[in-house]
Structure 1
Amino acid sequence: MVHNAADAVAAEQAAADVVHAVPGVPEGGVGAPPAASAAAPEKRTRHPLAVPVTGIFIILLVQALTVASGFLLPVTAAVLGSLVLNGPRRGLERIGIPAPVTAAVFTTSIGVLLAIAIAMLADPITEFVKDIPTLLDDAMDTLTGPGGLLEPFTEAAEATQEAMGNAADPALAAAPGAVPGAAPAAPAPEPATPVEVVATGGIATTLFAAAPGLLSQTVFAMCLLFFLVASGDLFIQKAVQVADRFQDKRATLKTIRTIERGLGNYLGAIALINAGLGVAIGIAMWLWGLPSPWLLGIMATVLNFIPFVGAVVGAGVAGVTGFVHYADPWSALGVFATYYALTSFEGQFVTPTLVGQRLRLNVVMVFLSVAFFAWIWSVVGMIVAVPMLIVAKVVCDSIPRFAKIGLFLGDAEGFIPRERDAGEEAAK
């Protein structure tokens, strides 16, 4: 019976080939309708649970990223660091230096630089953080005191409180048994309530409490970075082996190489730009005569790794420092404007010129990614937000299915409007 079915299928196929060979005969035979009226392919329908399941997955993913931040944050930093260091590691391998030695040199150098930075900046930063509440109190006293910008508002608030107190006095006089026309009786003194003063931790206490966790995450990231760099191209080879077709293997290798080159160019250029910005701001603060201008320059270098927020925070700190130093709001405004003008010049002219056009991203998406990773991973998340967005854009550009997402993550230069034909204009 199986042979009969196979013979029937073969005979049907042969008859169909004969019919196709006859000119003028439709594809389905003599009585078949034309090919143009053939039945359209069935349209795939979305499963009714696709949208709810996708929404639940996104919610669970965000919750997992938040809960596992202590583990995922150093892992992400180590992976990004290994992608940046893969290029120099291959260059050293060509001259005979093995990958483990290169990894040891890289991680040791990073650790030594971090240790030197902590040793040099620990005391100044600690004193500065402890002085922040005093600086803010002094600034508010100067603003609300005699001759300050906020003095009218302070007087208005005091007058309002006095008026409200006077309006409450007749209510106290209308007590039971009061003689009409007599002076209001003084209210009975209330028993003193003991007040317990609880010392709440300030900014310095919060930083000291977070130091052990930050140190452990740093050590974990450094160890993972060492193993990733020492393993050479092992994980890249595994990623290529996972792909089935040769085209997929080549696309995977090309994507990884593009990510390494893009991250290396971006982070290297940004590090040099931020260092130059720190020097420029340090010199500008020295010309203004502020105390510890070198500390403000280092602060500018570090904060400029955080898009949008870093420039505003740094300018605010510099402005408050100038206000306390000069006790003059206009001088403080000048310090604020100088700091912010330098960062704006860097962001609008220097970075686009040195980083290049290929790595320009959609500003709105950069802002949203910085806000999202700041929400789930705090300040360090704001630093890794842009590198992760670069990785996402390169991956989306390499996969045809997600090419539109990659185009959306880029800036306006990827959009080329199509000019209308003369026939379209005439039709309209």
Structure 2
Amino acid sequence: MNASPPAAEPSSEDPAEQPASRPPPPRPRSPTAVVVLAVLAVGFTLWAAQELILPILLAMFFALVGNPIIRGLQRLHVPRFIGAVMVLLGGLSVGMALANQLIEPAGEWIRQVPREMKQIAPKLRDLTKPMLDANKAAQNIARAAGGESTSRPVQVIRTELNEPYKVLTATPRRIASVLAVVLLTFFFMVYGQTLQRNAIALLPTRQQKKLTVDILHSIEREISRYVLTITVINTAVGLALAGALYWLGVPLPESLLWGTMAAILNFAPYVGPLIGIIIMLLMGFVAFDELFPSLLPAGIYLLLHTLESQIVTPIILGRSMRLSPLILILALMVFGWLWGIIGLLLAVPLLVCIKLVLARIEGLEGWARLLE
């Protein structure tokens, strides 16, 4: 008789006592979430540190305007330090002379605004009479339908007693900011290239150094050309508007005031000219009594802006500097919200810088085309 096989011994380990299986590893964070968090962090940093960032950006902007002039002086065997001093002193002299010419008419207009607004109120009332009649008719219909409440909301007027103290404390800070911009502009023009060479020397390989030098030189050259060209074009627009206003009979100091305003506002496409046209309309109603002459300043400004934006700038700068209008409006909104009027003026140069950098880096050319 064959012996039966021995019975299998029961396992000494109870399944309930077996260790639980390890939890699955955590899923990696979505790249989209990381990008959103990074954008929010950068935006908050730009807003919180604007008192530190804006003087640096303005100084770099002015240095880019002056670098082509300094390079031209270097071809004439003028040292870079002397050339930077000449450019900076020349710019300050022109700015102070222009400010000296504009302070008096600007102050006069500020004092006359309340009185002049009362004078142009009848003209504006005649122009807006159809819209006001339609609005009154709509209000009557809503009131008859019971859709409008007769009670008025309570208005709370808050006044601050420490406003003069705020002005006194803000003035030294503004003076310090202006001095910081002037000094940083000078140092960027004189020592910017040295700092750039020392930073490139930190790269490990010669190929990386050569590629970085080529990229930085091309970007610096194209951005300097763009900033200087736009500055010259906007200055020409301002001078043309000032000349046209002087031809219409506006006094020369006031004509220079409005021409300077147009040149500055033209750095912010779409938004700046729109503000300028509204200001020209108000100025025309104040300066002239009849309707057609009152519309001439705004019409001339619109004509000059159209010629500049549609013909002059595309021909001079070409396609490489063109930007998408949608991206441009979004950039103006973002930088204007972050930094106010200075953000509006710096939005386009910063966007051009970003586009040029993306176009020069391999693998990111598609993002540069997205901005076109």
TM-score by length of 1: 0.67
Could you tell me whether the CA contact under 8 Å between 2:67 and 2:224 is conserved in 1? Answer: no
- Against the structure 1 CA distance between its residues 141 and 237, is the aligned structure 2 distance closer, same or farther, given a 3 Å change threshold? same
Residue 224 of structure 1 is aligned with which of 184, 189, 201?
A: 184
Residue 268 of structure 2 is aligned with which of 285, 293, 306?
A: 306
Residue 59 of structure 1 is aligned with which of 22, 40, 61?
A: 40
Letter in 1 for 2:86: V
Residue 127 of structure 2 is aligned with which of 149, 158, 172?
A: 149
Residue 405 of structure 1 is aligned with which of 335, 351, 367?
A: 367
Residue 284 of structure 1 is aligned with which of 236, 240, 244?
A: 244
- Against the structure 1 CA distance between its residues 240 and 321, is the aligned structure 2 distance closer, same or farther, given a 3 Å change threshold? same
Partners of 1:308 and 1:163 in 2: how far apart? 37
**Are residue 235 (structure 1) and residue 235 (structure 2) matched?**
no
2:268 aligned counterpart, secondary structure: coil
Residue 284 of structure 2 is aligned with which of 322, 326, 329?
A: 322
- Against the structure 1 CA distance between its residues 105 and 150, is the aligned structure 2 distance closer, same or farther, given a 3 Å change threshold? closer
Cα deviation code 1:158-217 (max 9, x no counterpart): 89999999xxxxxxxxxxxxxxxxxxxxxxxxxxxxx99969999xxx999976544332
2:11 equivalent in structure 1: none
Partners of 1:370 and 1:96 in 2: how far apart? 41
Letter in 2 for 1:265: R
Matches within 5 A, 1:67-86: 67-86=48-67
Please report how far the alpha carbon of residue 139 of structure 1 lies from its aligned counterpart in structure 2 after TM superposition. Answer: 2.4
Please report how far the alpha carbon of residue 113 of structure 1 lies from its aligned counterpart in structure 2 after TM superposition. Answer: 2.2
Could you tell me whether the CA contact under 8 Å between 1:315 and 1:336 is conserved in 2? Answer: yes
1:245 equivalent in structure 2: 205
- Against the structure 1 CA distance between its residues 197 and 391, is the aligned structure 2 distance closer, same or farther, given a 3 Å change threshold? closer
1:393 equivalent in structure 2: 355
Could you tell me whether the CA contact under 8 Å between 1:262 and 1:359 is conserved in 2? Answer: no
2:309 equivalent in structure 1: 347
- Against the structure 1 CA distance between its residues 57 and 141, is the aligned structure 2 distance closer, same or farther, given a 3 Å change threshold? same
Partners of 2:59 and 2:341 in 1: how far apart? 17
- Where do 5+ consecutive residues of structure 1 fail to align? 1-45, 166-194, 411-428
Matches within 5 A, 1:241-280: 241-280=201-240
Deviates most, 72-81 or 270-279: 270-279
1:132 equivalent in structure 2: 113
Could you tell me whether the CA contact under 8 Å between 1:103 and 1:229 is conserved in 2? Answer: yes
Please report how far the alpha carbon of residue 330 of structure 1 lies from its aligned counterpart in structure 2 after TM superposition. Answer: 4.1
Aligned-pair Cα RMSD in Å:
3.6
**Are residue 120 (structure 1) and residue 101 (structure 2) matched?**
yes
Could you tell me whether the CA contact under 8 Å between 1:100 and 1:230 is conserved in 2? Answer: yes
Please report how far the alpha carbon of residue 75 of structure 1 lies from its aligned counterpart in structure 2 after TM superposition. Answer: 0.2
Deviates most, 316-325 or 240-249: 240-249
2:150 equivalent in structure 1: none
Cα deviation code 1:336-390 (max 9, x no counterpart): 2222112111110011112233222222222222221111111111111111112
Cα deviation code 1:130-158 (max 9, x no counterpart): 333443343233333xxx23346667888
Letter in 2 for 1:282: A
1:217 aligned counterpart, secondary structure: helix
Residue 50 of structure 1 is aligned with which of 31, 41, 44?
A: 31
Partners of 1:101 and 1:268 in 2: how far apart? 20
Could you tell me whether the CA contact under 8 Å between 2:280 and 2:298 is conserved in 1? Answer: yes
Deviates most, 103-112 or 149-158: 149-158
Partners of 1:61 and 1:85 in 2: how far apart? 29
Partners of 1:163 and 1:359 in 2: how far apart? 53
Could you tell me whether the CA contact under 8 Å between 2:69 and 2:87 is conserved in 1? Answer: no
Could you tell me whether the CA contact under 8 Å between 1:278 and 1:300 is conserved in 2? Answer: yes
Letter in 2 for 1:242: L
Partners of 1:110 and 1:237 in 2: how far apart? 27
Choose 1 or 2 for highest CA Rg.
1
Letter in 2 for 1:257: H
Letter in 1 for 2:51: G
1:231 aligned counterpart, secondary structure: helix
TM-score by length of 2: 0.76
1:337 equivalent in structure 2: 299
- Against the structure 1 CA distance between its residues 306 and 69, is the aligned structure 2 distance closer, same or farther, given a 3 Å change threshold? same
Letter in 2 for 1:236: Q
Partners of 2:369 and 2:97 in 1: how far apart? 42
Deviates most, 74-83 or 310-319: 74-83
- Against the structure 1 CA distance between its residues 61 and 109, is the aligned structure 2 distance closer, same or farther, given a 3 Å change threshold? same
1:192 equivalent in structure 2: none
1:37 equivalent in structure 2: none
Letter in 2 for 1:325: A
**Are residue 356 (structure 1) and residue 318 (structure 2) matched?**
yes
Letter in 2 for 1:289: G
Deviates most, 373-382 or 97-106: 97-106
Partners of 1:80 and 1:276 in 2: how far apart? 19
1:400 aligned counterpart, secondary structure: coil
Could you tell me whether the CA contact under 8 Å between 2:268 and 2:345 is conserved in 1? Answer: yes
Please report how far the alpha carbon of residue 237 of structure 1 lies from its aligned counterpart in structure 2 after TM superposition. Answer: 0.8
1:294 equivalent in structure 2: 256
1:175 equivalent in structure 2: none
- Where do 5+ consecutive residues of structure 2 fail to align? 1-26, 144-155
Letter in 1 for 2:201: Q
- Against the structure 1 CA distance between its residues 134 and 393, is the aligned structure 2 distance closer, same or farther, given a 3 Å change threshold? same
1:426 equivalent in structure 2: none
Cα deviation code 1:216-273 (max 9, x no counterpart): 3221011112122222521221332233333322221112112222122212222222
